[in-house]
Amino acid sequence: MNPDRAPAQWPAGIVHRVEGKPGMVALTFDDGPNLTSTAQVREVLNSHGARATFFEVGKALASEPSLARDLLDDGHVIANHSHSHSMAAWLSPGNDELVRSQAAFARHLGIRPTFFRPPFGLITRETRQHLEDSGMTCVTWDVAVEDWKLADPAEIARRVIDAVQPGSIVLLHDGHNGDVSAERRVIVEALPAILEALASRGLSPVGLDDLLDTSPYL
């Protein structure tokens, strides 16, 4: 499965877009925190007065918690994207990926995220039940542009702007599979054009807490 290609229809109960939110979109960044790109993405967002949501991998967070603390301090939303971002681990019956990642957020940041995004967009019935029992919300996306494999920032920006609508949840990547040293300069270079184009269309990037009208932390 291509991790940036959403199914024709996500299963019921999974949030991928929000109706009735004129003027709002949610930019979300997966697979970080990353040693170079996360701080740069943060600077670009802050310079444009934009908020975003960062779906972070537990093992990367444990390695570089200060990057996530800086995002929190600036008012961005931190969310859960599994502990290892390993497909084999994630699809293993009875895996503890979700529990381990929530523990990492609590230990290093003192928070337990409300929002969860399954790695590769794959979610089992067992995990959906666990999320429901824990009061968490599964959030996927309706705009995905394969930024993880594109080298041209202008092409990434064009694809986002062509697809985005009011209430969209946009999937981008400031990291890669929880590797804190992954090279993700392309998304830093694409982001200013995305933000400027959104502003020209009267669309404001907000955190998922604003888009979904719910607390980002349990």
Whichever domain contains 124, its CATH number is 3.20.20.370
Catalytic amino acids?
30, 173
Contact 180, 35 (CB under 8 A): yes
Q: Would residue 48 count as lying in a domain? A: yes
Tell me the pLDDT tens digit for each residue of 185-212.
Answer: 999 999 999 999 999 999 999 999 999 9
Q: Would residue 121 count as lying in a domain? A: yes
Strand partners, 217: 113
φ, ψ of residue 66 in degrees (nearest 5): -65, -30
Q: Would residue 19 count as lying in a domain? A: no
Give the whole-number percent of the chain exceeding pLDDT 90: 76
Q: Which domain holds residue 146?
A: 24-212
pLDDT at 61: 96
Q: Would residue 134 count as lying in a domain? A: yes
Which pTM does this prediction carry? 0.93
Q: Would residue 52 count as lying in a domain? A: yes
Query: Going by C-beta distance under 8 Å and a sequence separation of 6 or more, which residues neighbour residue 129?
Result: none
Q: Would residue 190 count as lying in a domain? A: yes
Q: In angstroms, rounded to a whole number, what is the distance separating the alpha carbons of residues 198 and 163?
A: 11
Q: Would residue 13 count as lying in a domain? A: no
Q: Would residue 83 count as lying in a domain? A: yes
pLDDT at 191: 98
Tell me the pLDDT tens digit for each residue of 58-82.
Answer: 999 999 999 999 999 999 999 999 9
Total number of domains in the chain: 1
Amino acid, res. 111:
I
Low-confidence ranges of the chain (pLDDT < 70): 1-12, 87-94
